[in-house]
Structure 1
Amino acid sequence: MRAHYLQHVPFERLGSIAPWLQQAGYNISSTQLYNSEALPDLTDIDFLIVMGGPMSVNDHQQYPWLEAEQKFIQKAVKSDLPVLGICLGAQLIASAMGAKVYPQPEKEIGWFPVKAIQPKLSTVFQFPDDINAFHWHGETFTLPKGAIHIAKSEACENQAFQIGTKTIGLQFHLETTLQSAQALVDNCGDELVEAKYIQTEDTILSAPEERFLSINRLMGCVLNYLHTNHA
């Protein structure tokens, strides 16, 4: 089995997703879009993961590869391949499936609660009622047509959605480790200004180890859900 991830900047990697995929028996490959690498043949992939990045879905002039990437993602979703989008990745899925992506009133950076929306459908991933998740985003999206809304936060209504049984978009980060949080701080620390939903570097990085492990375990549950539905 082959899991492939789309990478938009060098410092946003798989985090806790990598060991889960390896343990589940996947070989891992990637497309470094920032290096203008070519997208793979979808028929060679068993699991597609679309990672985050500081750019906007709408920055086509600055990042011309975004257009081809969205067409690739749309094809992946329609081909019934398991697809997971994280932060920018979720926005790319939403945009590829016809939704709008736009700046939200408040950036959301740091550890903030996410509340589950529990649709009464056995085919939908069930989040815990409350999650203290990690966030780093300034944009949001409308829900794609046919998508099921599955999580929200105080600052951002559309935190997670599901399309069918094999596509999930997460605005928040469950893959974050202390190392990947440090990488975000190192590369995007200029965004850490005083605001209602922006925490300080110290608050972000001093989170107890169990907080990271807790979101990583939940990330494993999401991955297992998509993997199992593909089996």
Structure 2
Amino acid sequence: MLAPIMEREGWNVSFCEAAVDDLAHPSIRNADLLVVLGGPIGVYETESYPFVTREIALIERRLSEGLPTLGICLGAQLMAKALGSRVYAGHIKEIGWGAISLSEAGAASCLKSLGSEASVLHWHGDTFDLPAAATRLASNGNYENQAFAYDDRALALQFHLEAEPRQLEEWYVGHSVELAAANVSVPELRAATANLANRLAAQADPVFTGWLHQIRPIDPRNRSLTARSS
């Protein structure tokens, strides 16, 4: 649902695959907005996946220059690493719908439409320490850091507001081994998604819209690029 919102708000959206595309290309390096999505690997697996090092360097440069950046799931972990924080395997794998609580800063941020206690889609096993210069926006009983802001130009979300039921059908297949290992029932997850997805979509739209308004560039040549890490 993220790309349609961006297009509605006047952004031109293009996609790349971080694992194979040239992250130094000007269309990526200098994009007005970079959205870094998720993937089934860890930030610390750079020996197996060397592109992660290049991706972290790209994000680090953007954050240091105040260029708008949005990270979701693995993207949030990459942002934390780029800001000097530790990223590591968590004590529990979160897959499925679960609560988050907004901090005082979160309740005053673009996340406010989620409400003080929101049910969102979690799909991660890793976590991270809050970067020193970042502001915690959300947490839950499993992980203290579920979302953070860096200045007013970067947003990191450990959870998924962008996922839709149709897209998740692909995830159920692509992550079948992970789901089985975590003892997650696909029929139960699908049923929960059917029950909660529409409500989350209504809450997520103002989250992304509000943030896009916040970081909109002065230059009218609105461009954006979404980098997939899988």
Task: Verify the 8 A CA contact 1:124 1:165 in the aligned structure 2.
Answer: no
TM-score, with length taken from structure 1: 0.84
Task: Verify the 8 A CA contact 2:102 2:139 in the aligned structure 1.
Answer: yes
Matched, 1:24 2:13: no
Higher helix share: 2
Q: Aligned-pair RMSD on alpha carbons?
A: 2.2
TM-score, with length taken from structure 2: 0.84
Instruction: Tell me which residue corresponds to 2:91.
Output: 105
Residue number among 130, 152, 157 corresponding to 1:143 in the alignment? 130
Task: Verify the 8 A CA contact 1:94 1:100 in the aligned structure 2.
Answer: yes
Answer with 39-48 or 177-186: which moved more: 39-48
1:194 CA drift (Å):
7.2
**1:162 counterpart letter in structure 2:** A
1:181 CA drift (Å):
1.4
Q: Deviations over 1:151-179 (max 9, x none)?
A: 11222221111111111111100001012
Alignment CA distance shift 1:160-1:208 (3 Å):
closer
Residue number among 34, 59, 63 corresponding to 2:19 in the alignment? 34
What is the distance in 2 between the residues matched to 1:79 and 1:38?
A: 17
Gaps of 5+ in 1: 1-15
1:33 CA drift (Å):
1.8
Instruction: Tell me which residue corresponds to 2:213.
Output: 228
1:45-194 equivalences in 2 (<5 Å): 45-119=31-105, 125-126=111-112, 127-193=114-180
Answer with 216-225 or 56-65: which moved more: 216-225
1:56 CA drift (Å):
0.4
1:43 CA drift (Å):
6.8
Q: Secondary structure at the match of 2:41?
A: coil
Q: Secondary structure at the match of 1:66?
A: helix
Residue number among 194, 203, 214 corresponding to 2:199 in the alignment? 214
Q: Higher relative contact order at CA 8 Å, sep ≥6: structure 1 or structure 2?
A: 2
What is the distance in 2 between the residues matched to 1:152 and 1:103?
A: 17
Q: Which 4+ stretches in 1 moved above 4 angstroms? A: 120-125
Instruction: Tell me which residue corresponds to 2:228.
Output: none
What is the distance in 2 between the residues matched to 1:202 and 1:75?
A: 42
What is the distance in 1 between the residues matched to 2:93 and 2:71?
A: 19
How many percent identity over aligned positions? 29
Task: Verify the 8 A CA contact 1:150 1:161 in the aligned structure 2.
Answer: yes
Task: Verify the 8 A CA contact 1:106 1:138 in the aligned structure 2.
Answer: yes
1:230 CA drift (Å):
2.2
Q: Secondary structure at the match of 1:28?
A: strand
